[in-house]
Homo-oligomer: A and B are copies of this chain.
């Protein structure tokens, strides 16, 4: 992967992420495999983004065919109508970036046979595996449009101990979400809260689960009845963008990967939240992964301590900025003549930028702290409300 700045190098603007101090090891992307389940309005765009980013290998799963009714979303073209979505996607993606290894699987993962092939293909490794992933792929992205398929992806990933990111767009086309699922560590897709356990979950969480339940009314049912769900290229493009952004952050280890990120288009609202696993989850593999996760706590703690010590040792030995190629100078905070602009950016978490470059957005730490305060307060109040509701429900049940 060349970093040379010439018009003929498709990777120059990606490798520039290293010079900008965002990613340490961009070229490592060539070693990763990502499975995308569902090549529709979200999955196809996610596949195109990863292809243009130079991902090593993409595994694409779908059993559907391209039709003109899909043209209101990005990616597929009218002349592809009639082709299987996986064939059409492999065709387009190969022409965009022949460096990416593409595997199209035209199969329905919700059938017994399809599930077998799905598991088998996920197990096959790519080149010399560099990541610690327990399966043959480094990440699974769920881009399906119905509850049943989500539960199948959940089952497969729980069995394999494979981290995945779920995505979804609402039937009215104006909201969506992505959710990171780490078997044993976060809630799995079957960790749905029974009523008596409501108080462990916040209101947004319950709504998220409700949306999942609502997705049980899938497109096939709707179409049969002459009704269809709405969709927009905007919402689906944004959800695909957030999904692949999280994928890049997760694989290349930069920034923070949100556990849950929602998008509500009508008000430009983007809620985030955490979801803990349900110890009484009905999915046996989930509970098994939870037990393993708990058992490995001493190991995780020891690793974290070792890492912290190593970081301290490096800090003690190495000079802060050895070469200082951008001629950055430290400003004196006590100086009355200080530059108000630069000073406003001197926050604890600010990263050093090349000379002439300035951050586009305000420091997020401060705003996040305020958000956290507002939400933690809110969540606590909600928890109390839910405990009260739970008591009422128990009283009703005991009648």
Contacts and interface: CB of A to CB of B under 8 A. Distances in A.
Interface residues of A, number: 121
Contact of A341 (B79, B210, B238, B248): B210
Contacts of A9: 68-69
Contacts of A227: 5, 16, 19
Contact of A238 (B217, B242, B389): B242
Given A53-B232, A256-B268, A176 B96 contact: no
A69 B267 contact: no
A223 B223 CA distance: 51
Nearest to A205: B362
B171 A20 contact: yes
Contacts of A16: 173, 227-231
Interface in A1-31: 5-14, 16-17, 19-22
Given A20-B173, A266-B254, A378-B370, A74 B52 contact: yes
Given A207-B360, A256-B268, A228 B13 contact: yes
A49 interface: yes
Contacts of A255: 174, 265-267
Contacts of A172: 17, 20-22, 353, 357
A254 B264 CA distance: 13
A312 interface: no
Given A52-B233, A228-B13, A238-B242, A360 B96 contact: no
Given A10-B69, A210-B358, 6 more contacts: A21-B172, A203-B344, A208-B360, A241-B241, A261-B268, A266-B364
Interface of A: 5-14, 16-17, 19-22, 45, 48-49, 52-54, 67-69, 71-74, 77-79, 95-97, 168, 170-177, 195, 198, 203-204, 206-208, 210-211, 213-214, 217, 223, 226-235, 237-238, 240-242, 244-245, 248-249, 254-256, 258, 261-272, 336-337, 340-341, 344-345, 353, 356-362, 364, 366-368, 370-371, 373-375, 377-378, 389, 392-393, 396
